[in-house]
Amino acid sequence: MSPEPRNRDPEYCFRSPLEDHPTLPNRPPKCPWKKDLHKTEQSPHGKWDWKPSDGKILPSILKAVGNTPLVKMNKIPKAENIECEIYGKCEFMNPGGSIKERMLIRCIEDAEKCGTLKPGMTIIETTSGNTGIALAWVCAIKDYKCIIVLPDKSSKEKEDIMKAFGATVVRVPMGEPDISENGKYGKTHYLHKTTPNSIILDQFSNPSNAVAHYDVTAEEIYYQCDGQVDMIVIAAGTGGTMTGIGRKFKEISPNTIIIGADPYSSKFAQPDKINETNVKFSEVEGIGDTIIPTICDRTNIDKWYKLYDIESLNVARRLIKEEGLLVGLSSGVIMAGALKAVKEYNLGKGKKVVVVLPDGTRNYLTKFIVDQWMEQRKLLPAVNTRNHWWWDI
């Protein structure tokens, strides 16, 4: 069951700078609060208390978000000669299909408490898809209107699901400067300015994004592992999951190794030189970017691993086929990074590794699970199923 919120200090109510003019959401964060520096002070962003699900009837589907299963992987570790225990945090089993529902509910309910979001308003957001689905889902339940600005790269399945929830979807072309008229942030700002009674939640700068994972997701993982988590592997799109989980674990379990997984073409990884590559495009949706969002705190990451699509997408297919986990593209990147990290750190018997699996297969039914799609992009070897004599000429 979802946690119950406590009151939030109005002084820290968030308002997106995009509401004033289109800017890249990569400004330095303003909030100086950290638990290790402010031991006697509570977080100014309020707190949601988490408790395990009691399995009883829920008053709303919104209360089904969170308390996702932590599942032991068996076949892949054995095939890779890995002796430690690897667990998948199955965020794709949230009602809307991804980890993004956690932060969307937090962002919306914090905005409601602050008075910046009122009944009848329209919420506008740019997203690669999972946030858009989560937003459309929550808006359908809470009776808000929503407009989603979606890059052309994002799958048709995502757009169709958003529309099924009643969202308006506006596509923007890849390659446009982000704050230009047809760029994702420029278009979002234009829609806000021309849509009466609207608000931009701004997942890239909104502290409620990271706090949702600090208060709840991290606590779930710690509880499910009985306090022993030797390694966590995560990735960043907005950086909310990474920031929230990373900060909480450095406080409650400082010996936990925090690993970041990042697709080539992205600039999240550190040191910066490991991002240098000729790869300019990744098929992966939802994680990675060339700017570092305001809420993304990378200081808690102990080591980064860069992944090519051919590694990540094939590992995602293995998670489906070998472990029965209906994961998506981002999950493949994170699991591929986990396999590298576990081997490099030489984690043996008795060690526990948690891999956060943020997205599900549903959003990619015409993409990486289709052999022909993989073959066309040279991510799988093409198979001559009809034995044509001219196949290898």
What backbone phi and psi angles, to 5 degrees, belong to 15?
A: -135, 125
Q: How far apart are CA 72 and CA 24, in angstroms?
A: 39
Which strand (E) or helix (H) includes residue 234?
A: strand 231-235
With beta carbons less than 8 A apart as the criterion, state whether 248 and 211 touch: no
Burial of 362 (0-12, 13-18, 19+ CB in 10 A): middle
Residues 6+ apart with CB under 8 A from 365: 157
Longest dimension (CA), the chain: 76
Which strand (E) or helix (H) includes residue 310?
A: helix 309-323
Q: How far apart are CA 297 and CA 300, in angstroms?
A: 7
With beta carbons less than 8 A apart as the criterion, state whether 148 and 162 touch: yes
Does 187 participate in catalysis according to the annotation? no
Which of 37, 69, 44, 52 lies closest to 2, judged by CA? 52
Instruction: Tell me if the bond preceding 22 is cis, omega within 30° of 0.
Output: no
Q: Please spell the DSSP secondary structure of 65-99, one letter per residue.
A: SS---EEE--HHHHHTT--SEEEEEEGGGSTTSBT
The DSSP symbol for 25 reads: S
Within 10 Å of residue 142's Cβ, how many Cβ atoms? Answer: 16
Task: Look up residue 277 and give its two tokens.
Answer: 């590559």
Selected catalytic residue, list 89, 100, 187, 352: 100
Give alpha helix (H) positions in 81-239: 100-114, 130-142, 156-164, 184-194, 207-212, 218-224
For 53, 97, 100, 241, 324, the CA distances from 64, given in Å and listed in that order, are 9, 12, 13, 19, 22
Q: How far apart are CA 265 and CA 135, in angstroms?
A: 27
Q: Which residues are catalytic?
A: 100
